[in-house]
C-alpha cells in the first residue's frame, strides 16, 4: 500500500506543478525526475502514467468535476484539492482494474498528507458522487 501511495503522491506533485506553471507536462516531468532520481522505475512509470493520463483527459475530468462539485467552479478550488480530485477521477474512469473504494481511499490518504481536514470531506463527497454516476 505504501508503494501505491508513493506513486499517487508523486503523480499529484507533477500535476500540481503542471497546473500552476501551465508548462508542458513533458517539461514538468523532466524537471521533476531530475530532482527525484532515487525513485524506483516501477514507481516512476506508474506515476508518469497517472499524471499523463490525467492531463490527457483533463477536459473530460474537469467537466465531470464541475457537475459534481455543487457551488464550486473547478478553477476556484484549492490547487491541491483540484489535482487530487483530477487524479482520483482519472482513476475512477480509466483504471478499471483497481476497486473504486481503493481509489477513493488512496485519494483521501493523499489529501490527509497534502491538504486540510475540511478538504478530506469535500474530496470524499465529490469522488463518491462520481463513483455512483459511473456505476
Domains present along the chain, CATH in parentheses: 2-134 (1.10.940.10)
For the four alpha carbons of 55, 57, 59 and 61, in that order, the dihedral sign comes to: negative
Q: What is the pLDDT of residues 25-64, one digit of tens each?
A: 999 999 999 999 999 999 999 999 999 999 999 999 999 9
Q: What is the pLDDT of residues 69-128, one digit of tens each?
A: 988 899 999 999 999 999 999 999 999 899 999 999 999 999 999 999 999 999 999 999
pTM of the model: 0.94
Cα distances (Å, whole numbers) of residue 50 to 11, 12, 13, 20: 6, 9, 11, 18
Q: Which of 92, 89, 85 is nearest to 114 (CA)?
A: 85
Amino acid at each position: 500500500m505504501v508503494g501505491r501511495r508513493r506513486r499517487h503522491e508523486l503523480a499529484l506533485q507533477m500535476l500540481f506543478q503542471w497546473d500552476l506553471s501551465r508548462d508542458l507536462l513533458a517539461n514538468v516531468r523532466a524537471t521533476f525526475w531530475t530532482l527525484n532520481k532515487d525513485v524506483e522505475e516501477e514507481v516512476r512509470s506508474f506515476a508518469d502514467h497517472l499524471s499523463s493520463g490525467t492531463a490527457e483527459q483533463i477536459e473530460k475530468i474537469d467537466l465531470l468535476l464541475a457537475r459534481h462539485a455543487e457551488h464550486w467552479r473547478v478553477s476556484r478550488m484549492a490547487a491541491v484539492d483540484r489535482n487530487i480530485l483530477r487524479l482520483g477521477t482519472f482513476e475512477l474512469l480509466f483504471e478499471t482494474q483497481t476497486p473504486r473504494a481503493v481509489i477513493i481511499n488512496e485519494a483521501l490518504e493523499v489529501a490527509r498528507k497534502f491538504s486540510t481536514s475540511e478538504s478530506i470531506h469535500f474530496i470524499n463527497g465529490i469522488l463518491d458522487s462520481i463513483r455512483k454516476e459511473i456505476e
